[in-house]
Amino acid sequence: MIGGIRRSVDHLRKQQRILGSGSRVFTLGSSIGSDSSMIAANDRCKILPSTTTSTVRNISTTFVDSKIYKEKSNSIVNHLSRSFSTDDSMDDEYGEMTADGHTYVHPVPFELENGEMLENAQLRYMTYGTLNEAKDNVIVVCHALTGNASLHSWWGDLLGPGQAFDTDKYFIVCANILGSCYGSTGPASAKDDSEDGEKYGMDFPDVSVQDSVKLQLHMLQDDLQVKSIKCVIGGSFGGMQTVEFAAQAGLIDSPFAVDDSAGRAAPFVRSVLPIACGSAHTAWQIAMSEVQRQAIYMDPKWNDGNPSLDDPPMKGLSVARQIGMISYRTPEGYESKFSRNTRTPEPKYGHKASWEVKSYLEYQGYKFLSRFDPITYLKLTEQMDTHDVGRGRGGEAKALSNVKIPALVLGIDSDILYPLQEQKDLAKLFPNGELAIIKSNAGHDGFLLEQDQVAAHITTFLASHD
Cβ(271)–Cβ(230) below 8 Å: yes
Distance of CA 316 to the CA centre of its chain: 21
In angstroms, the CA 92 to CA 41 distance is 13
Max Cα-Cα span within the chain: 76
Task: Report whether 333 contacts 325 (CB < 8 A).
Answer: no
What is the residue-wise DSSP string for 376-428? HHHHHHHHHHT-BTTTTTTSHHHHHHT--S-EEEEEETT-SSS-HHHHHHHHH
- Cβ-proximal residues to 251 (8 Å cutoff; 6+ apart), any chain: 257, 267, 402, 403
- CA distance readout (Å), 365 to 143, 163, 361: 20, 33, 6
For 323, list phi and psi in degrees, rounded to 5.
-60, -45
Rounded-to-integer distance, Cα 454 and Cα 388, Å: 25
Cα–Cα distance measured from residue 247 to residue 242, given in angstroms and rounded to the nearest whole number: 9
**CA angle 166-176-209, nearest 5°?**
110
Q: Which of 415, 440, 445, 457 is catalytic?
A: 415
Helix axes 374-385, 314-327, angle to 10 degrees: 40
Distance, CA of 118 to CA of 122 (rounded, Å): 10
Is 151 in a helix, a strand, or coil? helix
For 344-383, letters b (16+ CB in 10 Å) and e give eeeeeeeeeebbbbbbbbbbbbbbbbbbbbbbbbbbbbbb
**Is 152 a residue of the active site?**
no
Closest CA to 277 of 319, 334, 326, 233: 233
Annotated catalytic, 50? no
Question: Taking the alpha carbons of 142, 146, 150, 154 in that order, is the dihedral positive or negative?
Answer: negative
Q: Which of 236, 327, 359, 414 is catalytic?
A: 236
Q: How many CA atoms lie within 13 A of 233 on its CB side?
A: 22
Would you call 236 a catalytic residue per the annotation? yes
* Cα 240 from Cα 142, distance rounded (Å): 9
In sequence order, what E strands does 87-245 have? 102-105, 110-111, 117-118, 122-128, 138-142, 171-175, 229-235
Catalytic residues: 236, 415, 444
